[in-house]
């Protein structure tokens, strides 16, 4: 028997996906009539009406949802009552009698109809007690499945673990049914193992949208849903890591360091000078800290809002996409205690092939004869002296992840409590991360008209880190450029400097061991949600939350690193607190074939930040590290305070006609204190959808199922400037009047008033198509999108005669257009075996279309004195394009040569070209999950095509330039002029070669295919352990990468800090990004 959650409209069966099955079990378990429910009053328009219209009236007037099978109930049948007014019990009893049904009313406001069993002479005789276990296609136990002995009233349901017992004769026929699954008939036997097959057409996923929820079938916009089960065996510290390759249109870049930065982009980058990070909303509260401090295991699902129809409701904060996160909650009468432990072992996945000490000495002697004598060469060759700097810096990393969670509740109050610890030691020495996290939430029906939800999340993290960003002080860059003939320590135990090579004199091991930095972060998030049921169809919800962050940074630099540097220290503390109150009035009405949901929201947000810092140099003693600022000969201090507020009004209408035509209109008005004269921004959107699959003409074919067309257009915005930046702030100067007097009256270039600066606006168009084939075993979603940013926030330079510097203007225009798609297929579905394959892909084209007559914007200088700006923003090209000399090869004299495009005869800026980009043309993810009985094997691939990276690590390790006096890369020696028939490097004996970092010589193809995760798990049912069920898992992260890129990681990023400017502008530069790790993780999860 198929069961559906009826929407009382033709051809609209619905049900819940697996995350809701616990709730469905609850209402089946508690299926006893409730006096209060049955006494609810009801009025129907006429005495005679169709069953469908009666159901619609019941849902409209009482708020109950009706569960039935199309086989048992004909919604077009007419039924006659003797009266038009009465209580619910009267109408249900008369209906059940007329249609020969039984019905139950649950405590969760469901009315469940079942066909009365036909009395026969085949009543069950007392047989032996038979047992069984019921799972879905993925091996998950089904809670609340119904088992009936055919032709009798003998029935039972499965428990929390999917187990059941029934007294029935062996060989008798059992009917098994479950909401959202196809019915099954089996022969009764001992220890039955039953796998239910999903009834795809019956599934109707509930999706969280801004300020509400909606059934996915009723969505007109583009929203992707990622359930936590999709990545349950993958070791994830930051939840957004799970989005990579699993959600079309979303790209995720991880810095690789323990507790490191995550960069997420939804359908490309729209801003040149400011962050392109999406907005994070956790249980209705905006989190400026993103998902930091949130345990991925506490997340139930993530919804990614991609088009304007979905994001416009967040107005000024939705231009970069919105990620809605729903956390786990307790279930009524379902106590669950979970213990989860993971242990991971990591090693660097790929290393550079560098010269051995002996090879280096031989090569160095060619360039500088007789530097190393025969005795030294022998000691290098037999390993007595010399250093493999990668061995010295890299090590095996260990990750420990432990979690305990408890959830329970009764019919009125449910709660969820969890605690988590993560400890990581990195694959680089002296690098670690620790996080402690606690979360608790409670939901309570205080009365018939009031429900209360509260939650609190606290985390404390501390990491010991070093400089892995774009800088000459990057220890990984220094490591690969330190000569292998240099020992780590000298005879006295001090650190050896490099006398032959190196871009820095600082010994990389000394830097890692003697300079210490620590980041400590405390995050507190709390929420109180009050929901008032004013009328059955009218609710008012007040949501109030706080997002508090205390970020402390400590740094100490010892003179032990080098005698040529001063020791120093620094302490900094940044405290930020954001408050939000959201008041939401929602009406849901349904009449006949029409339904309407209207939402009105008033929201107020406030944020304040306090910053304090003190630093000192030339410390008299190093005994107390970074706590000794009073012992510094020179000290500097700095502090600041800022605040901003946002006032918002939101309205949304969602109309549905006959489950065929959907219209969603949204309007939001935001007023921001960050702007002066133009405080208010207005952001509308409109979305239309046509559910082709529900049209009559689609019912006469069986090729395509559940087809839906979607169109949307809207405007979203950005207020991504700091408070007070539109004001004209004065600075002090002594230049104008001389002497020591300070005169306040000088406008610096960065503080010129811009009172008419206003919102950055992004216009978005989306056209989507959803459909399934082969009885929806293969499901497709396609979305074509265009994002056009106007009035982009841009820093514009002032001429030096007018004070110099830069200021904000609304000037630039950026376009992102592309196609993202998802193909999800149940390739095999059988009793013991299933195979699901899901492929997501994104085609993306990014282009700058206007810069307000600015010729170009140069990227950051990666390393002053060694590498200049190598990227730039220019009209007609993507953000983050490279600006390089075009390398043409090695000439007959063994020198690098470059194209002379300006015909000047010399190498000049006029010879540089815009070429290559860091944003891939196509990125994808491919996940395969195979289940056989209790075994689950999952293989997850990610990849990118049409992307380049500028490998400046290889440049410095293969060039004589600046402080880099010699090569360390093996390829630069054996593939050099005079040693190779097709050389790509000059000879080591060349002294007048023009080495250029800004050259296509170092621009490499960074296309890749990576086996991101391979996992194997085995589920031990409760009947085996008696006291609990358990899952054992083995996972390998980054098993292999296929790429032509010569660096450590084709997807690694050096520019991950906002202090270094737009990470999108400098994305493709590899200057020693934290190395990619291959991690083997063992897991144990026990449910009591």
Measured in residues, the chain has a length of 1088
**1036 pLDDT band (50/70/90 cuts)?**
very high
Given a cut of 80, whether residue 748 has pLDDT beyond it is: no
DSSP-based three-state secondary structure for 316:
helix
Task: Decide which of 845 and 236 is more confident.
Answer: 845
Question: Is 812 a member of any domain?
Answer: yes
User: What is the average pLDDT across 995-1000?
Assistant: 91
The pLDDT value recorded for residue 564 is: 80
370-389: per-residue pLDDT in tens?
999 999 999 999 999 999 99
**963 pLDDT band (50/70/90 cuts)?**
low
Ranked by mean pLDDT, the top range of 138-142, 217-221, 637-641, 1059-1063 is 637-641
Task: Decide which of 1072 and 268 is more confident.
Answer: 268
- Give the Cα separation of 953 and 1000 in Å (integer): 14
Q: What 8-state DSSP symbol labels residue 830?
A: -
Q: In the numeric block, which tokens belong to residue 275?
A: 């962050």
Using CA atoms, how far residue 17 sits from 282, 336, 430, 777, 885, in Å, is 21, 20, 46, 15, 55
Q: In the numeric block, which tokens belong to residue 264?
A: 């997420």
User: What is the average pLDDT across 461-487?
Assistant: 84
How do beta strands 1069-1070 and 948-951 pair?
A: parallel
- Picking from 186, 213, 235, the residue at the C-terminal end of a domain is 186
Read off φ and ψ for residue 267, nearest 5 degrees: 55, 45
The pLDDT value recorded for residue 732 is: 61
**Among candidates 671, 668, 612, which has minimal Cα distance to 637?**
612
**204 pLDDT band (50/70/90 cuts)?**
low
Question: Is 231 a member of any domain?
Answer: no
Given a cut of 50, whether residue 166 has pLDDT beyond it is: yes
- The CATH number of whichever domain residue 52 belongs to comes to 3.55.50.60
Ranked by mean pLDDT, the top range of 75-89, 447-461, 797-811, 1066-1080 is 447-461
Mean pLDDT of the chain: 85
DSSP codes joined into one string, 133-154: EEE-TTSPBPTT-EEEETTSS-
Q: How many other β-carbons are positioned within 10 Å of the β-carbon of residue 736?
A: 9
The pLDDT value recorded for residue 739 is: 54
Indicate the Cα dihedral angle 726, 650, 766, 763, nearest 10°.
Answer: -20
318-354: per-residue pLDDT in tens?
888 999 999 999 888 778 899 999 999 999 999 999 9
Q: How many domains does the chain have?
A: 2
Question: Is 970 a member of any domain?
Answer: yes
Question: Is 40 a member of any domain?
Answer: yes
Question: Is 634 a member of any domain?
Answer: no
**Among candidates 600, 454, 605, which has minimal Cα distance to 540?**
600
571-584: per-residue pLDDT in tens?
999 999 999 999 99
Per the DSSP assignment, residues forming a β-bridge with 655 are 596, 663
- Give the Cα separation of 895 and 898 in Å (integer): 10
- The CATH number of whichever domain residue 861 belongs to comes to 2.40.170.20
The pLDDT value recorded for residue 738 is: 53
User: What is the average pLDDT across 453-469?
Assistant: 88
Domain of 154, in residue numbers: 4-186
DSSP codes joined into one string, 729-743: -EEEESTTT-SS--E
- Give the Cα separation of 269 and 277 in Å (integer): 9
Q: What 8-state DSSP symbol labels residue 867?
A: B
Q: In the numeric block, which tokens belong to residue 943?
A: 């990849």
Question: Is 1007 a member of any domain?
Answer: yes
Ranked by mean pLDDT, the top range of 53-57, 273-277, 676-680, 862-866 is 676-680
The pLDDT value recorded for residue 999 is: 94
Given a cut of 80, whether residue 182 has pLDDT beyond it is: no
**Among candidates 1037, 1038, 1051, which has minimal Cα distance to 401?**
1037
Per the DSSP assignment, residues forming a β-bridge with 663 are 655, 688
**Among candidates 463, 552, 626, which has minimal Cα distance to 1074?**
463
**Among candidates 818, 872, 864, which has minimal Cα distance to 845?**
818
Using CA atoms, how far residue 31 sits from 23, 26, 146, 536, in Å, is 12, 8, 13, 22
Given a cut of 50, whether residue 898 has pLDDT beyond it is: yes
Question: Is 328 a member of any domain?
Answer: no
Of the chain, the percentage scoring pLDDT greater than 70 comes to 88
The pLDDT value recorded for residue 468 is: 73
Question: Is 501 a member of any domain?
Answer: yes
Q: How many other β-carbons are positioned within 10 Å of the β-carbon of residue 716?
A: 35
- Picking from 131, 164, 186, the residue at the C-terminal end of a domain is 186
The pLDDT value recorded for residue 1063 is: 66
- Picking from 141, 159, 186, the residue at the C-terminal end of a domain is 186
Range with the lowest mean pLDDT among 114-128, 159-173, 219-233, 630-644? 114-128
838-891: per-residue pLDDT in tens?
999 999 999 999 988 888 888 877 776 678 888 889 999 999 899 999 999 999
């Amino acid at each position: 028997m198929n069961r559906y959650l009826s929407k009382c409209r033709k051809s609209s069966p619905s049900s819940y996906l697996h995350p809701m099955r616990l709730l469905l079990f609850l209402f089946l378990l508690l299926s006893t009539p409730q006096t209060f429910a049955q006494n609810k009053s009801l009025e129907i328009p006429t005495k005679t009406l169709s069953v469908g219209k009666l159901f619609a009236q019941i849902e409209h007037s009482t708020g109950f949802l009706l569960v039935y099978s199309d086989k048992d109930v004909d919604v077009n049948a007419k039924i006659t009552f003797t009266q038009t007014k009465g209580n619910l019990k009267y109408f249900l009893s008369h209906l059940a009698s007329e249609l020969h049904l039984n019905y139950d009313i649950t405590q969760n406001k469901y009315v469940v109809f079942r066909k009365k069993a036909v009395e026969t002479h085949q009543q069950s005789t007392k047989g032996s007690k038979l047992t069984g276990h019921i799972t879905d296609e993925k091996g998950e136990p089904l809670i609340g499945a119904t088992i009936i002995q055919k032709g009798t009233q003998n029935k039972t349901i499965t428990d929390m673990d999917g187990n059941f017992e029934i007294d029935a004769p062996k060989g008798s026929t059992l009917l098994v049914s479950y909401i959202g699954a196809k019915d099954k008939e089996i022969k009764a036997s001992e220890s039955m193992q039953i796998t239910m097959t999903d009834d795809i057409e019956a599934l109707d996923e509930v999706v969280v949208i801004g300020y509400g929820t909606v059934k996915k079938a009723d969505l007109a916009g583009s929203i992707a849903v990622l359930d936590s089960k999709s990545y349950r065996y993958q070791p994830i510290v930051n939840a957004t890591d799970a989005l990579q390759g699993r959600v079309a249109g979303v790209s995720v870049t991880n810095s690789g360091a323990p507790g490191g930065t995550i960069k997420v982009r939804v359908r490309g980058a729209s801003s040149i000078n400011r962050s392109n990070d999406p907005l994070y909303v956790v249980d209705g509260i905006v989190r400026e800290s993103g998902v930091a401090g949130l345990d991925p295991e506490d997340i139930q699902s993530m919804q990614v809002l991609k088009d304007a129809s979905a994001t416009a409701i967040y107005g000024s904060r939705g231009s970069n996409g919105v990620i809605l996160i729903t956390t786990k909650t307790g279930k009524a009468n379902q106590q669950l205690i979970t213990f989860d432990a993971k242990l991971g072992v990591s090693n660097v996945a790929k290393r550079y092939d560098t010269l051995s000490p002996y090879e280096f000495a031989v090569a160095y002697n060619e360039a500088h004869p007789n530097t190393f004598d025969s005795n030294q060469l022998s000691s290098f060759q037999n390993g007595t002296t010399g250093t493999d700097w990668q061995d010295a810096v890299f090590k095996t990393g260990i990750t420990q992840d432990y979690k305990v969670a408890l959830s329970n509740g009764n019919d009125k109050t449910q709660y969820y409590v969890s605690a988590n610890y993560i400890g990581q030691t990195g694959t680089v020495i002296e690098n670690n991360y620790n996080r402690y996290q606690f979360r608790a939430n409670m939901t309570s029906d205080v009365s018939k008209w009031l429900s209360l939800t509260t939650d609190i999340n606290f985390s404390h993290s501390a990491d010991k880190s070093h400089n892995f960003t774009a800088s000459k002080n990057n220890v990984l860059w220094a490591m690969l450029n330190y000569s292998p003939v240099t020992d780590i320590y000298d005879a006295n135990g001090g650190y050896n400097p490099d006398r032959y090579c190196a871009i820095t004199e600082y010994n990389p091991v000394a830097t890692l061991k003697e300079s210490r930095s620590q980041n400590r972060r405390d995050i507190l998030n709390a929420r109180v949600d009050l929901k008032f049921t004013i009328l059955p169809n009218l609710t008012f919800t007040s949501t109030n939350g706080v997002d508090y962050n205390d970020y402390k940074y400590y740094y100490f630099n010892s003179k032990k690193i080098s005698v040529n540097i001063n020791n120093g220290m620094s302490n900094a503390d940044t405290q930020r607190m954001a408050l939000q109150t959201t008041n939401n009035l929602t009406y849901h009405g349904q009449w006949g074939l029409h339904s309407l949901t209207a939402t009105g929201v008033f929201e107020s947000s406030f944020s304040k930040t306090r910053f304090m810092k003190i630093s000192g140099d030339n410390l008299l003693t190093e005994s107390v590290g970074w706590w000794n600022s009073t012992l510094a000969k020179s000290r500097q201090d700095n502090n600041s305070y800022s605040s901003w507020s946002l006032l918002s009004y939101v309205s949304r209408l969602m109309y549905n006609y006959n489950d065929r035509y959907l219209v969603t209109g949204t309007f939001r008005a935001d007023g921001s204190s960050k702007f002066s004269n133009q405080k208010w921004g207005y952001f509308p959107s409109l979305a239309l959808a046509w559910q082709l699959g529900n049209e009559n003409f689609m019912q006469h074919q069986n090729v395509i199922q559940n087809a839906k067309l979607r169109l949307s257009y809207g405007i979203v915005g950005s207020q991504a400037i700091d408070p007070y930046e539109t004001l004209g702030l004065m600075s002090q100067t002594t230049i104008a009047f001389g002497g020591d007097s300070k005169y306040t009256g000088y406008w610096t270039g960065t503080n010129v008033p811009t009172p008419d600066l206003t919102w950055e606006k992004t216009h978005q168009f989306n056209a989507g198509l959803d459909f399934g084939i082969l009885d929806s075993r293969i499901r497709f979603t396609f979305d074509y999108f265009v994002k056009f940013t106007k009035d982009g926030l841009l820093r514009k330079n002032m001429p030096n005669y007018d004070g110099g510097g830069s200021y904000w203007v609304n000037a630039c225009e950026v376009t992102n257009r592309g196609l993202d798609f998802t193909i999800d297929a149940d390739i095999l579905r059988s009793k013991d075996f299933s195979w699901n394959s899901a492929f997501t892909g994104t085609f993306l084209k990014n282009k700058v279309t206007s810069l307000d007559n600015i010729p170009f914007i140069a990227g950051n200088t990666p390393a002053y004195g060694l590498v200049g700006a190598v990227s730039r923003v220019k009209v007609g090209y993507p953000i983050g394009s490279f600006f390089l000399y075009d390398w043409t090869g090695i000439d007959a004299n063994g020198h690098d040569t470059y194209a002379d495009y300006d015909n000047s005869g010399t190498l000049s800026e006029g010879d540089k070209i815009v070429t290559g980009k860091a944003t891939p043309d196509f990125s994808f993810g491919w996940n395969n999950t195979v289940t056989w009985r209790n075994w689950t094997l999952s293989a997850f691939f990610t990849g990118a095509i049409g992307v380049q990276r500028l490998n400046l690590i290889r440049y410095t390790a293969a060039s004589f330039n600046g402080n880099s006096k010699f090569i360390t890369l093996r390829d630069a020696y054996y593939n050099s002029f005079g040693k190779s028939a097709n050389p790509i490097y000059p000879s080591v004996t060349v002294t007048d070669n023009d080495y250029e970092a800004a050259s296509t010589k170092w621009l490499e193809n960074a296309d890749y295919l990576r086996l991101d995760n391979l996992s194997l798990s085995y589920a031990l049912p409760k009947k085996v352990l008696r006291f609990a069920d358990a899952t054992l898992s083995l996972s390998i992260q980054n098993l292999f990468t296929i790429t032509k890129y010569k660096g450590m990681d084709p997807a690694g990023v050096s520019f991950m800090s906002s202090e270094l400017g737009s990470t999108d502008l400098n994305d493709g530069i590899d200057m020693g990004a934290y190395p990619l790790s291959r991690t083997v993780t063992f897991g144990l999860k026990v449910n009591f």
